Amino acid sequence: MSSRKPFSLLKRNSVYYVRFRLPDGLRSVPKSTGQTSRGRAEAWAIDYLRAGQGQIVVKENITFQDFSKDFFDWNGTWATDKRVRGLRISPRHCLERNDLLHNHLIPAFGKQKLTAIDRALIKDFRNTMFKNGFSGSTINKCLSTIKTILDAAEERSLIQYVPRIDRAADNPKRKGILTLEEAVRLFSFQWMTRPAFRHPAKSDFMGQVGNLLAITTGLRLSEIQALTFADIHLDKNYLTVRRSWDNRRFCHNETTKSGKERTIFFSDLVKSQVMRLIEMNPFGNDPDNFLFFGDQKDRAKDHRFFMQSLYYALEQIGIDATERLRRNITFHGHRHFLNSLLIGAKVPLQTVQSITGHLTAEMTQHYYHIGADDMRGVLQITDAITTGIKKESIQ
């Protein structure tokens, strides 16, 4: 090997191959330049080094599937490195990344060699997901996930460099919100379960209270599920939001989504319903008992229960499944609804943030819907939502 060049050339069947000098003094395995002219082969080798800023791939035949195996395990290198550096990471986050990997990335890139994954291939993947109807948010999560894997591959000299990745436009479908009049009607009658064969309708008190709490406090569904008796302060009409519920691992996340604890006040009517729910708990008065209890003492009520309760109640006020889907009304829309009323009432953004748990004022503004009713003050707003509710209507 020439002392002036960090590579040597050899010829096989009229095609030149290049072997690069590695940092330890050894040489890389031969890599085809695809050139039959020595001069063009040398130019190819120089361009290769420039493109990777001098980095040489030490192993050429590793596939994406092989490299990404167990990549997002909680006890794996990636998650451990984040924990060591004090970065935010949770088992749930690892599971979500793993889902994206196995549901989208492995099918698309699994058999590809790491070195073959370039900008064009990733662009095709992004565009195919878009054509298949995936949201910009889901596409970008996939792109972020593959970048994380390729960053690790680059660090281990398994690829020359991470190709540029162009994100998709988020353009999330805007959450629909109820009008104040619809919200009042929604809670002005006793909710019942949807009747089924040999299962007549019965009172859906828990579903109604869960939705009432969401629309008057802005709590996320996972935060509502996570509430225990210890979080409820009936003497002063407030609750402490300090954790969320992991619906996949069936356990508490030790913090909320934002990582911050917050205090939420509620009206006397909400208090009366929460008291009834506490009295109904079949597991006693243990402070660790779930307010919205499941079939087992250590399980919160399933998140799908609250959604189905809402959907059936919406039908009772004339918003059937077709209309609900058209308007994109969901359980999470309760947060948008309250947020809009708070901003419409000119409640300071800092106050709104403290209630909804948003990390930034920009996120709070994102939840704002023009045309929300003009209310005065947080308690006045929650009282307005429950104006038409008679205590006996929620049984």
Q: Which pLDDT score, from 0 to 100, does residue 364 have?
A: 44
Mean local confidence (pLDDT), 379-394:
60
- List the domains of the chain with CATH numbers: 7-51 (no CATH), 64-155 (1.10.150), 180-393 (1.10.443.10)
Question: By percentage, how much of the chain surpasses pLDDT 90?
Answer: 54
Q: Which pLDDT score, from 0 to 100, does residue 289 have?
A: 97
Nearest to 338 by CA among 377, 289, 281, 388: 377
Give the best-scoring range by mean pLDDT among 224-233, 331-340, 379-388.
Answer: 224-233
Q: Which pLDDT score, from 0 to 100, does residue 327 have?
A: 93
Nearest to 150 by CA among 104, 194, 117: 117
Q: Which pLDDT score, from 0 to 100, does residue 372 have?
A: 35
pTM: 0.67
Q: Give residue-wise pLDDT tens across range 239-261.
A: 999 999 999 889 998 888 777 78
Q: Looking at per-residue confidence, does 258 or 156 come out higher? A: 156
Give the best-scoring range by mean pLDDT among 17-26, 45-54, 86-95, 301-310.
Answer: 301-310
Average predicted confidence (pLDDT) for the chain: 85
Q: Which pLDDT score, from 0 to 100, does residue 379 have?
A: 61
The token pair that represents 25 in the structure block: 């003094």
Residue 2's pLDDT band (cuts 50, 70, 90): very low
Q: Is the per-residue pLDDT at 229 higher than 80?
A: yes
Q: Which pLDDT score, from 0 to 100, does residue 61 have?
A: 86
Q: Quick one: CA dihedral 243, 211, 262, 292, positive or negative? A: negative
